[in-house]
Amino acid sequence: MKTNIFLTASLRKPFRSILLLALFGLISFVFITKAVGFILVQRETGVLGSYYRSIGVLENVKDPQSGDVSAGIRLINSSPHFAYGNPAEVVSGIMSHTFNTSFLSTNATMLIKALPAEYWSNVHDTDIWFTGELLDKKEIGADGKQPDGGNALGYSLKFDIDTLLAAFPENASQGSSVVLLFLFDKNESAIPTIREMTVGQRYLIRAWDDFDSLPTQLTRFRFQILPLDDQQLWYKAVAKDERLDFSSPEMASIKNRIDILNENLHTLGIIATADMSAMPRMQETSHFYTLTAGRWLNHQDDLAGSKLIVIPEDLASQRSLSLGDELQLTFRPLRDTYYGQIRDGIDTVLWRSYPTYQDTFTIVGIYTSRYGAIWSYIPIGSLQPGFTSATQKQFQDETGYSFVLDSSRSQALFIQEYQNTLQSLGINLTFLDNSGAAYWAAVDPIRRSSFADILTFGLLMVVALSMAVFLYMMQHKREYAISRALGVARNQASHQLILPLLLFGGFGILLGGMISWKDALGKANANLSTIPTPAGVAPSADLNPLFLVILCLVIFFLLAVFSWLGAQFLARRSVFDLLQGQIQRPAEQKPANVSLAGPVNPSSSSSQTGAVDKSPKADAATRVSPALQAKYTPASLSRYAFRQALRSGIKSILTLAIALGFMFASGWLSQTLQRSQAEIDRLYNTTVVEADILPADPSAGSTLGTVPHGNGFVYLNTVNSILDSGYVISSTLEAETLWSKIQGTGSQTGLTGSVPVYAYDGPEAFTSGLADPSSLVFASGWDANLFARQWTLEDIQKEGIPMLIPSSMLEQAQLEIGDKVKVSEMSGSISPGVIVGQYSGGRAVTINHVKTKVIGSESILIPLSVLKAMERSKTAFTVAHFVLDPARNRDLSQVSSDLQKVIKAPGAGTRDLRFMIWDEQLRIVIDQLEKNLSILKVLYPVVMAVSVLIAAGLCFLLLLQKSREAAILRVLGITRTAVCVALILDSFCLSLIGAVMGLGLAALLWMSAGVMPAGGLLTSAGLYLAGALAGLVSGAILVTHKQPLELLQVKE
- C-alpha to C-alpha distance for 314 and 297, rounded to whole angstroms: 19
- C-alpha to C-alpha distance for 505 and 968, rounded to whole angstroms: 32
The answer to whether the Cα torsion of 476, 477, 481, 487 is positive or negative is positive
Residue type, 676: S
Q: Residue 611 pLDDT more than 50?
A: no
Question: Nearest-CA neighbor of 802 among 771, 766, 847?
Answer: 766
- C-alpha to C-alpha distance for 763 and 788, rounded to whole angstroms: 6
Query: What CA–CA distances, in Å, run from 858 to 332, 654, 770, 853, 861?
Result: 36, 83, 10, 10, 9
Burial classification of residue 371, based on how many CB atoms lie within 10 Å of its CB (0-12 exposed, 13-18 middle, 19 or more buried): middle
Selected residue with higher pLDDT from 556 and 1047: 556
Q: Which of 436-445, 618-627, 662-671 has the lowest mean pLDDT?
A: 618-627
Question: Is-contact 321 294, C-beta < 8 A?
Answer: no
How are strands ordered across the β-sheet holding 82-86?
Answer: 82-86, 401-405, 55-60, 427-431
- C-alpha to C-alpha distance for 301 and 286, rounded to whole angstroms: 23
Output phi, psi for 431, to 5 deg.
-110, 135
- C-alpha to C-alpha distance for 640 and 380, rounded to whole angstroms: 82
Q: Residue 281 pLDDT more than 80?
A: yes
DSSP calls for 102-129:
----B--HHHHHHS-GGG----BTT-EE
Domain ranges of the chain: 5-46+442-585+618-672+927-1048, 84-100+266-403, 109-263, 690-918
Report the pLDDT value the prediction gives residue 856, as an integer from 0 to 100. Answer: 67
Report the pLDDT value the prediction gives residue 379, as an integer from 0 to 100. Answer: 97
Stated as kind and residue range, the H or E segment containing 330 is strand 326-331
Residue type, 887: A
- C-alpha to C-alpha distance for 515 and 526, rounded to whole angstroms: 17
- C-alpha to C-alpha distance for 809 and 593, rounded to whole angstroms: 121
Tell me what the mean pLDDT of segment 109-127 comes to.
Answer: 83
Question: Is-contact 797 831, C-beta < 8 A?
Answer: yes
Q: Residue 992 pLDDT more than 90?
A: no
Question: Where are any strands of DSSP class E within 370-443?
Answer: 376-379, 401-405, 427-431
Question: Nearest-CA neighbor of 367 among 432, 315, 425?
Answer: 315
Report the pLDDT value the prediction gives residue 700, as an integer from 0 to 100. Answer: 56
Question: Nearest-CA neighbor of 908 among 697, 692, 717?
Answer: 717
Beta bridge partners of 237: 203
- Please state, for a pLDDT cut of 90, what percent of the chain lies above it: 38
- C-alpha to C-alpha distance for 505 and 786, rounded to whole angstroms: 82
Q: Residue 167 pLDDT more than 50?
A: yes
- The runs of H, that is alpha helices, within 750-887 are 763-768, 793-799, 807-813, 864-871
pLDDT band at 621 (very low <50, low <70, confident <90, very high): very low
Question: Is-contact 691 916, C-beta < 8 A?
Answer: yes
DSSP calls for 944-977:
HHHHHHHHHHHHHHHHHTTHHHHHHHHHTT--HH
pLDDT band at 972 (very low <50, low <70, confident <90, very high): confident
Selected residue with higher pLDDT from 35 and 587: 35
Burial classification of residue 493, based on how many CB atoms lie within 10 Å of its CB (0-12 exposed, 13-18 middle, 19 or more buried): buried
Tell me what the mean pLDDT of segment 607-621 comes to.
Answer: 45
What does the pLDDT look like over 780-818, one tens digit per residue?
Answer: 999 999 999 999 999 999 999 999 999 988 988 889 999
- Residue 234: other Cβ atoms inside 10 A: 20
Spell out a b/e string for 439-470, using b for 16 or more CB atoms within 10 Å of the CB, else e: bbebbeebbebbeebbebbbebbbbbbbbbbb
Q: Which fold has domain 109-263?
A: OB fold (Dihydrolipoamide Acetyltransferase, E2P) (2.40.50)
- C-alpha to C-alpha distance for 697 and 268, rounded to whole angstroms: 20
- C-alpha to C-alpha distance for 179 and 135, rounded to whole angstroms: 10
- C-alpha to C-alpha distance for 82 and 341, rounded to whole angstroms: 34
- C-alpha to C-alpha distance for 706 and 699, rounded to whole angstroms: 15
- C-alpha to C-alpha distance for 343 and 251, rounded to whole angstroms: 20
- C-alpha to C-alpha distance for 223 and 530, rounded to whole angstroms: 51
Spatial neighbors of 572 by CB under 8 A, at least 6 apart, are none
Query: What CA–CA distances, in Å, run from 401 to 290, 691, 942?
Result: 21, 28, 52
Output phi, psi for 1036, to 5 deg.
-65, -40
Report the pLDDT value the prediction gives residue 978, as an integer from 0 to 100. Answer: 79
Beta bridge partners of 877: 714, 735
Question: Is-contact 745 737, C-beta < 8 A?
Answer: no
Q: Residue 212 pLDDT more than 70?
A: no
Spatial neighbors of 149 by CB under 8 A, at least 6 apart, are none
Q: Which of 103-107, 931-935, 956-960 has the lowest mean pLDDT?
A: 931-935
Q: What is the DSSP letter of 923?
A: I
Tell me what the mean pLDDT of segment 284-306 comes to.
Answer: 89
pLDDT band at 216 (very low <50, low <70, confident <90, very high): low
Q: How many CA atoms lie within 13 A of 739 on its CB side?
A: 29
- C-alpha to C-alpha distance for 968 and 578, rounded to whole angstroms: 18
DSSP calls for 619-681:
HHHT---HHHHTT--HHHHHHHHHHHHHH-HHHHHHHHHHHHHHHHHHHHHHHHHHHHHHHHH
- C-alpha to C-alpha distance for 813 and 710, rounded to whole angstroms: 21
Q: Among the ranges 326-330, 548-552, 930-934, 957-961, which has the highest mean pLDDT value?
A: 326-330
- C-alpha to C-alpha distance for 277 and 755, rounded to whole angstroms: 40
- Residue 258: other Cβ atoms inside 10 A: 19
By DSSP bridging, strand 913-918 and strand 690-695 are antiparallel
Average pLDDT, the chain: 83
Question: Is-contact 135 199, C-beta < 8 A?
Answer: yes
How many H-runs (helices) and E-runs (strands) does the chain carry? 32, 32
- C-alpha to C-alpha distance for 34 and 939, rounded to whole angstroms: 8
Output phi, psi for 609, to 5 deg.
-120, 5
- C-alpha to C-alpha distance for 481 and 98, rounded to whole angstroms: 89
Whole-number CA gyration radius for the chain: 44
Beta bridge partners of 367: 291, 312
Question: Is-contact 450 38, C-beta < 8 A?
Answer: yes
- C-alpha to C-alpha distance for 161 and 103, rounded to whole angstroms: 24
- C-alpha to C-alpha distance for 945 and 957, rounded to whole angstroms: 19
Report the pLDDT value the prediction gives residue 951, as an integer from 0 to 100. Answer: 76
The answer to whether the Cα torsion of 854, 859, 860, 863 is positive or negative is negative
Tell me what the mean pLDDT of segment 136-156 comes to.
Answer: 83
pTM here is 0.70
- The runs of H, that is alpha helices, within 310-410 are 313-318, 346-350
Report the pLDDT value the prediction gives residue 570, as an integer from 0 to 100. Answer: 84
By DSSP bridging, strand 751-760 and strand 860-863 are parallel
DSSP calls for 586-606:
-SS-PPPSS----S--HHHHH
Q: Among the ranges 209-218, 459-468, 712-721, which has the highest mean pLDDT value?
A: 712-721
- C-alpha to C-alpha distance for 128 and 205, rounded to whole angstroms: 8
Residue type, 199: V
- C-alpha to C-alpha distance for 55 and 83, rounded to whole angstroms: 10
- The runs of H, that is alpha helices, within 687-804 are 716-723, 763-768, 793-799
